[in-house]
Amino acid sequence: MRKILLIIALILVSWVSAQEINCTVTINSDLIEGTNKQVYETLKAGIEEYMNQNRWTNMTYADNEKIECSMLIVVKKVEGEMYTCEMTLQSRRPVYGTTYMTPILNFKDGAFNFAYKEFDRLDWQQNQFTTNLTAMLAYYCYLIIGHDQDSFQRLGGTPYFLQCEQIADVCQTASMDGHEQTGWLAFESNRNRYALIHNLVDDAFKKYRNFYYEYHRLGLDEMSNNVANARGRIAEGMPVLKEAYRSRPATYVINTFLDAKADELVDIFSKGTDKEKKAVYEILTDIDPTRVNTYDRMNEN
């Protein structure tokens, strides 16, 4: 009996102390010829262990509450121990009362560059720079958690976005190869890691983040109760995207939202009223004209 109770206790401890993220990593090295392919398997395993086994918050996550995400790394060039890559990160969360998983984050990093030697240990140390690879991975773990928390609670992601900001600020002055610094620099681009996180922590975008919460909790999560009301709540909030875009046309955070949500918005409003379709279509094609063909599908039904 005592042994059974011990086993149950160990199971419960494991269940309540589960880490926050469940990330599947894929590494595509098709562009690289004549190299040791095993190194990519080792790197994949190391990244998955780093992201999935570290504790990133003080919150308790059950196994079924872990944030599902995937990371695709395309290796474009390898010179010695320096890897030049592109990385696409996607995360999702369940919608209440359904089996549907809504995309939360769909982010492409075109400057995912790092130094790596096979079997290098990936260690994260809070508030301390170790390597660019571990800094980027920690940044993205907090970015995933921040977006997930923002979708459940108004501005709930703030502590995790502040962690991202701190990492970005540390990387501004960290000792690393210039190739690795790409993506962290304040004025190199308005579409890099630095720009994104400074959008998210800027008070000017609190309205957008409140809309982000309402989109998920008062919109998607209410779809199973009343589709028309839930869709109406989302439509009411859409002008916030246009307001943010008008005030700062180079705003990266609005682009990242639409990268994740464009197809979902089409699915939602293709079943909406003519008034909703017209209003939402005008907003989306105004702020995101490159995807007009996607938004045209909204009016096909």
Residues 210 and 169 in one domain: no
Residue 44 and residue 147 share a domain? yes
Last residue of a domain, one of 201, 229, 251: 201
The pair of structure tokens assigned to 196 is 């994104």
Judge if 81 and 63 occupy the same domain.
Answer: yes
| Boundaries of domain holding 29 | 2-201
Kindly state the tokens that stand for 256. Answer: 């990242």
| Last-in-domain residue among 167, 201, 235 | 201
For residues 26 and 174, membership in a common domain is answered with yes
Domain count, the chain: 2
* pLDDT tens by residue, the chain, 301 residues: 444 433 333 333 333 445 899 999 999 999 998 778 899 999 999 999 999 999 999 998 888 899 999 999 999 999 999 999 999 999 999 999 999 999 999 999 999 999 999 999 999 888 788 999 999 999 999 999 999 999 999 999 999 999 999 999 999 888 888 889 999 998 888 889 999 999 999 999 999 999 999 999 999 999 999 999 999 999 999 999 999 988 877 678 999 999 999 999 999 999 999 999 999 999 999 999 999 999 999 998 6
| pTM listed for this prediction | 0.92
Same domain flag for 153 and 236: no
Q: In the listed set 154, 176, 201, which residue is the last one of a domain according to the structure? A: 201
What is the bridge-based pairing of β-strands 67-79 and 82-94?
A: antiparallel
196 and 211 share a domain? no
Answer yes or no: do 190 and 283 share one domain: no
Q: What pLDDT is attached to residue 1?
A: 44
C-alpha pair distances (Å), 146 with each of 91, 155, 163, 195, 209: 11, 9, 9, 16, 11
